[in-house]
Amino acid sequence: MSLIVQKFGGSSVADAESIKRVAKRIVETRKAGNEVVVAVSAMGDTTDDLLDLAQQVTPIPSGRELDMLLTAGERISMALLAMAIRSMGVEARSYTGSQAGMITDAQHGKARIVDVTPGRIREALDQGAIAIVAGFQGFNRSTGDITTLGRGGSDTTAVALAAALDADLCEIYTDVDGIFTADPRVVPLAKKLDRITSEEMLELAAAGSKVLHIRAVEYARRHGVSLHVRSSFNNNPGTLVVNPKEGETVEEPIIAGVAGDLSEGKITVVGVPDKPGKAAQIFRVVAKTGANIDMIVQNVSAAATSLTDISFTLPKADGATVMQALEAERGDIQFAELQYDDQIGKLALVGAGMRTNAGVSAKLFTALFEAGINIEMISTSEIRISVVTRADTLNDALRVVHSAFDLDGDELAVVHAGTGR
């Protein structure tokens, strides 16, 4: 008997009909002889509706109370899902994050899981029941307060339960068929991957792929949980996200996929004195704002002036805050000027095979050059190459690169409506 954890997102349980459809799928997994634990998100737009309500009451709601409010969403979906399963003659019980033992730190709105004590879930399984667990939520032991895990929280709940229960597999049901070599809405010939390493998946998620949340992938990687990302709308096999063991030889394609991201902006600090410690000074200021910066490029100093320029990318949402923070330190840092550019696109090429294959960068730059696409910044990691282009050339760049690395499939990818959480 295998233990399978299944995660269903908000679009998979948007109304009573979808809930019954998902219930049927869960019951089939149980009847195939598996123990089943389910992590479920709030129905459809419930979370946004609750956020709207909070905004109507106060523009700056308390974090503790906002978490209390939002966790009502999964409470509704999980109870309905458990009812639906029971109406099919199979025992099912729903559990809040707190009842399921999802213990977190006390950071409301973006709590991190510090421990999982799924005693009641194990007990339910031992009694032959399916356990339905509220995604996205936990509780803090010292305050006794309810917390939420932030974006991607339900994926993380599923993975954390799979790890704590030593599950054989964690299935992430979503509204796409799996992980693709590129976003099929942008690159119509994108192919579904049968298999990807968690390391590659991490880089793709960091580079803007939205199918799996980066936290969930990190958690799965750290705890050796195998993920199966698949569609809740059909029975096709999806993509396995695997954790090859140290030293295990895996036949890898050179490139797993290419991802694009239009959510970032670029700040350039112009005319910085080319002296030791200046970069550190700048990024201390940036770090204090809490902004998550990504690529950093420092120009070679112009010998005549001993001044240099430093550029970095960051989420557009943090742009104004960081600009203000830097401006306030202009006297100390002694730069000449600040420039902000929110019309950039970021392309990332990811593949574990890059490590042992020279020439990947050259091939990438050549493909972009031949398509007449200008590269503004470059940064590389062990299994990723990222470049910044103008925003309006990003989609062309994605298609060109996808072709250049022979990722194009033979047929158009099927794109489903809706987006998961």
Phi/psi zone of residue 76: left (φ > 0), alpha (ψ -120 to 50 degrees), beta? Answer: alpha
If the CB atoms of residues 75 and 416 are measured against its own copies, the closer one turns out to be: 75
Segment contacting its own copies (CB under 8 A): 67-75, 108-116, 267-275, 322-330? 67-75
Spatial distance between the Cα atoms of 357 and 376, rounded to a whole number of angstroms: 24
Size of site (CB under 8 A) for its own copies: 37
List 133's β-bridge partners, or say none: 39, 95
Q: What minimum distance in Å lies between the beta carbon of 20 and its own copies?
A: 6
Contact flag: residue 86 with its own copies (CB under 8 A): yes
Report residue 344: phi and psi, to 5°. -105, 155
Q: In angstroms, rounded to a whole number, what is the distance separating the alpha carbons of residues 338 and 119?
A: 55
Q: Which residues contact 328 (CB under 8 A, 6 or more apart)?
A: none
Is residue 236 within the footprint of its own copies (CB under 8 A)? no
| Minimum distance of its own copies from residue 18's CB (angstroms) | 10
Is 75 a residue that touches its own copies (CB under 8 A)? Answer: yes
The reply on whether position 293 binds its own copies by CB under 8 A is no
Ligand-binding site membership of 335 (annotated): no
Q: Which residue lies nearer to its own copies by CB, 15 or 194?
A: 15
Q: Is 10 annotated as a binding residue?
A: yes
Q: Which amino acid is at 286?
A: V
Q: Say how far apart CA 306 and CA 95 lie, in whole Å.
A: 63
Range in contact with its own copies (rule: CB under 8 A) among 3-11, 60-68, 151-159, 164-172: 60-68
The tokens describing 147, both together, are: 């917390």
Which one of 21, 45, 51, 54 is in contact with its own copies (CB under 8 A)? 54
Measured between alpha carbons, how far is 375 from 40 in angstroms, rounded to an integer? 42
Q: Do the Cβ atoms of 351 and 259 come closer than 8 Å?
A: no
Task: Note whether 69 binds its own copies by CB under 8 A.
Answer: yes
Stretch that binds its own copies, among 68-76, 105-113, 223-231, 360-368 (CB under 8 A): 68-76
d(CA 55, CA 50): 9
Helix (DSSP H) and strand (DSSP E) numbers for the chain: 12, 20
Q: Which of residues 116-175 bind its own copies (CB under 8 A)?
A: 120, 144
Closest CA to 229 of 185, 157, 176: 176
Count of residues making up the chain: 421
State the minimum distance, in angstroms, from the CB of residue 290 to its own copies: 23
41 binds its own copies (CB under 8 A): no
Question: Which is closer to its own copies, CB of 39 or CB of 176?
Answer: 39
Is 175 known as a binding-site position?
yes
Q: Which stretch binds its own copies (CB under 8 A): 49-57, 277-285, 347-355, 370-378?
A: 49-57
Round the CA-based radius of gyration of the chain to a whole number and report it: 23
What's the CA gap between 187 and 180, in Å, rounded?
Answer: 10
Binding piece for its own copies, criterion CB under 8 A, among 46-54, 176-184, 292-300, 353-361: 46-54
The single residue among 21, 29, 45, 61 that binds its own copies, judged by CB under 8 A, is 61
Determine, following the binding rule CB under 8 A, whether residue 38 of this chain makes contact with its own copies. Answer: no
Question: What strands lie across the sheet with 384-390, from one edge to the other?
Answer: 257-261, 344-350, 384-390, 377-381
Selected binder of its own copies within 26, 78, 206, 377 (CB under 8 A): 78
How many CB atoms are closer than 10 A to CB 225?
26
Residue 282 sits in the site that holds its own copies (CB under 8 A): no
Q: Which residues bind its own copies (CB under 8 A)?
A: 15-16, 19-20, 50, 53-54, 56-62, 64-66, 68-69, 71-73, 75-76, 78-80, 82-84, 86-87, 93-94, 99, 120, 144
Annotation: binding site for substrate: 47, 74
